Amino acid sequence: MIQVTPVILCGGSGTRLWPLSRSGFPKQFLVLSGDDASQSLFQEAVQRINAIMGPSIELGTTLIVTNEDHRFLALDQLRELKDIQSTVLLESSGRNTAPALTLAAFQAKDGLNDPILVITPADQTVKNSAAFTQALQDCIAVVAADSSKQTIAILGITPTSPETGYGYIRRNAVVGAHHEYAVEQFVEKPNAKTAQAYLEDGNYLWNSGMFVLRASTWLAALKEFRSDIFGATETAWQARSTDQTDVTTFIRPDKTLFNSIPSESIDYAVIEKCPGSRYSIKMVELDAGWNDLGAWDAVWQVGKQDERGNVTSGDSLLSNTNNSLVHASSRLVSVVGVENLIIVETADAVLVADRKNSQDVKHIVNQLEAQKREEKNLHRKVARPWGWYDSVDEGERFKVKRIQVKPGASLSLQMHHHRAEHWIVVKGIAEITNGDQVITLTENQSTYIPQGQTHRLANPGDTPLEIIEVQSGSYLGEDDIVRFEDTYGRS
């Protein structure tokens, strides 16, 4: 049996899909496409890569590399997938994909184990799952056939247009025993004229960012080509800590040491240096309706278009509108007499863009960052490990939130220096610590938390708890929280 470990790279903030994707809830955790409209891109990726098991392939625990801030988003979505065994490797900061894969390789290569790693990003779509599975199985066979452990296989995407947003792989014309080609060169994102020439040539394919190689191969190649990244990541890994939640294990490399690792991609650190080296790079072609959803135009391309070429989501009404994407999150969006537009509505922001310029959403995100606006990172409705809160209204010296707490969950034991809070239960049962008192409230009952009072909100019931919170005071920022105890390690 060939021992295979799936690796999901689940970092990144997906800012080109703002305002729906934000750093606090990035695109990989959103439901954007796929046959099962209830699954996020991350969930689809986990299930796709776990479908590659075959008569000669034995799958190990799925390794997921994500940011510490997203650990509970990943955990909640993993709980919805049945029979998936996973270990989550948590990065304290984004250091790009080379350090992320190195963490996974260290975890996978335990003792005498040296499994083949199948690595995929968490934010791509594939329409033909059977073709995807076959291509990855071919990659595994290519790597397994090399006893010297110096072969790397990569999926190259059959180009369908002269795309300028992707890097390309140049292959030779000789097909191997497992439908593989030798890679002659990696080329950067081309201009439109060069991309058209690549398309006509027929031997240039899009670089998918999906790789298959042994854990030892990656570690050896990284040590050879970028010893600084290897050494720094190894040092952070050796100082790791581990904890368990349900059946999922969390592993954290040392925060300070990890933050000092040079930031680099898998491609730049190793893959693009391999042609002509002792490492053999092979490519298997994938023609399966692949898309990396790098911009809103890509979401339109993979969406279900009506007879006028429109892709809609949510409460929308269209009249005399063609070839547009309309995404409504919280209210009715009506569109009249337009073509080739992207219109995305959320509770606190609206994006309108020409489809052909949808990559330029990054310029808006840059402006938001320069102005230090919260809309860059957080939605009005913010996910928390215990549930969520929605900032319904605010003005001078007051803010109103709707808060939902999961069954059995609780907020931290905390206090605020600058605000008082009124809590009104609208659904469920609330157990409230208010100073020295612990009280239970049900629907339509309320309590008052004075400024500076230690307090906690918990849900002892088996259904979600919802309250309305009214804050009042001189400062109402989220950073006015002093935590004394916290179930989720934030105190």
Domain layout of the chain by residue ranges:
2-286, 296-366, 381-485
What is the pairing mode between strands 419-427 and 413-415?
unpaired
What span, in angstroms and rounded, lies between the C-alpha atoms of 185 and 204? 9
CATH of 2-286, picked from 3.30.1490.20, 3.40.390.10, 3.40.50.300, 3.90.550.10, is 3.90.550.10
Beta strands per DSSP E along 201-279: 204-214, 241-245, 248-252
190 preceded by a cis bond (ω within 30 of 0): no
**Cα-based torsion angle of the residue sequence 194, 186, 300, 67 in order, rounded to the nearest 10 degrees:** -150
Residues of the chain with pLDDT under 50: 34-36
Strand arrangement, sheet containing 350-354: 311-313, 325-328, 341-345, 350-354
Neighbours of 373 (CB within 10 A): 12
State how far the Cα of 484 lies from the Cα of 164, in Å rounded to an integer: 51
The predicted pLDDT at position 37 comes to 59
Q: Is the domain 381-485 a CATH 2.60.120.10 member?
A: yes
For residue 390, list its beta bridge partners: 381, 402
Q: Is 275 helix (H, G, I), strand (E, B) or coil?
A: coil
Of 172, 138, 156, which Cα lies nearest the Cα of 207? Answer: 156
CA dihedral in degrees (104, 108, 112, 118; nearest 10)? -100
Helix ranges (DSSP H) in 272-406: 296-302, 361-370
- List Cβ<8 Å contacts ≥24 apart for 395-399: 397/472, 397/473, 397/474, 397/476, 398/470, 398/471, 398/472, 398/476, 399/470, 399/471, 399/476
DSSP H helical ranges for 371-478: none
CATH topology identical between 2-286 and 381-485: no
β-pairing, 430-434 with 437-441? antiparallel
Instruction: For residue 395, count CB atoms less than 10 angstroms from its CB and return exposed for 0-12, middle for 13-18, buried for 19 or more.
Output: exposed
